[in-house]
Amino acid sequence: MSSADAPIAVPAAEAAPPASTDGPSPRVIVPAKRRVRVADIWHSREVMWIVAMRDIKVKYKQSALGPIWLFLQPLGMLVAVSVAFSAVVGVDTGGVPYLLFALAGLCVWNFIQLVLSAGTLVLIANHTLIRRSACPRIALMNAQIASNLPFFGVILGATLLATLFSEGFGLEILALPLVVAWVMAFTWGVLLMSASISARFRDSVSAVPLVLQAGIFLAPVGYPADRGGPTAEALLALNPVTGLIESLRWSVLGTSVELYVVAIALAWTALIVVAGWRTFGRMETRFADFI
């Protein structure tokens, strides 16, 4: 094909070329295995906020109770967990009021669950944006975290208020921002992985709800991690969410936490964030082809 050399008619009116200095800057598109950069997380923040706002608005449209569900959802879970683990099983929380204990657990767990259950489907739900616009894909991911922050804020706020008026805080509370950031980073890493994989393999659409449903029993949401003895505790520690929940409880309620549990969870988080980012970057260029 000699198409590039084919003569192109120039309309007379446009024959005068504009000065090359005021021409727009070129953007080059070439075959690439990955194109997204870490800086894009920051550069796409406006899109992230507007998509997050969209998701928040849409969630409560045509809903009679609207944002009241922000409070009803954790309340319902709190009742269920309390009945199951406190009233029926009768777990010992080492002197911490059970409601506070469960609230702190649910704070971490429900956030992870909310982000991942909707977030795994984010590319499928936004397939027209993916196929028909150059919408930064990382912004869609980050928006999943951002749009669930109000929920996280409500339940963390409730936990903090209840603790403030009953037990009071220790110095550990100063570490709370770090623990919250840790929860966010972990959830983000898992989200990147599960959502990216779902674009190619719909298996994660089935696998993630299973993991989330089974997970509430395999993480110390409603019971303390050391309840089943050292062996059970070591097994539980393999679940990275165990370290997250125990650390949040330590920070807010001053409960004890095994260092090795925290170390395992930190190692998991580092691994998952790196693997999630790499998986996302590798698959992101072909989302529009796969969806």
Residue 3 contacts another protein per CB under 8 A: yes
Which part of the chain contacts another protein (CB under 8 A), choosing from 208-216, 228-236, 261-269, 282-290? 282-290
Which pair of tokens denotes residue 48? 């992230």
* Of 84, 212, 218, 288, the one binding another protein by CB under 8 A: 288
* Residue type at position 67: P
Residue 134 contacts another protein per CB under 8 A: yes
* Of 67, 94, 201, 214, the one binding another protein by CB under 8 A: 201
Which part of the chain contacts another protein (CB under 8 A), choosing from 51-59, 206-214, 232-240, 272-280? 51-59
Q: Please count the other Cβ atoms lying within 10 Å of the Cβ belonging to residue 135.
A: 15
Alpha carbon distance 63, 270 (integer Å)? 39
- Yes or no: say if 97 and 170 are a contact pair by the CB < 8 Å rule: no
Which pair of tokens denotes residue 204? 């994660």
- Yes or no: say if 216 and 223 are a contact pair by the CB < 8 Å rule: no
In order, the DSSP letters of 129-145 are HHHHS---HHHHHHHHH
* Of 37, 67, 83, 133, the one binding another protein by CB under 8 A: 133
Binding mask 66-85 for another protein (x = CB under 8 A): --------------------
In degrees and rounded to multiples of 5, residue 38 shows phi and psi of -60, -35
Instruction: Please give the distance of CA 256 from its chain centroid, rounded to a whole number.
Output: 26
Minimum CB separation from another protein for residue 286, in Å?
Answer: 7
Alpha carbon distance 182, 106 (integer Å)? 16
C-beta closer to another protein: residue 135 or 212: 135
C-beta closer to another protein: residue 34 or 174: 34
Alpha carbon distance 215, 207 (integer Å)? 12
C-beta closer to another protein: residue 174 or 286: 286
Residue 286 contacts another protein per CB under 8 A: yes
Which pair of tokens denotes residue 100? 């506070």
Minimum CB separation from another protein for residue 8, in Å?
Answer: 6
Alpha carbon distance 155, 176 (integer Å)? 14
Number of residues near another protein (by CB under 8 A): 50
* Of 118, 200, 205, 207, the one binding another protein by CB under 8 A: 200
Which part of the chain contacts another protein (CB under 8 A), choosing from 21-29, 75-83, 232-240, 267-275? 21-29
∠ Cα 113 116 122 (to 5°): 145
* Of 41, 80, 91, 129, the one binding another protein by CB under 8 A: 129
C-beta closer to another protein: residue 139 or 265: 139
| Segments in 167-238 forming alpha helices (H) | 176-200, 203-218, 229-237
Q: Where do contacts with another protein occur on this chain (CB under 8 A)?
A: 1, 3-4, 6-11, 14, 17-20, 23-32, 35, 46-47, 50-51, 54, 57-58, 61-62, 128-135, 200-202, 285-286, 288-290
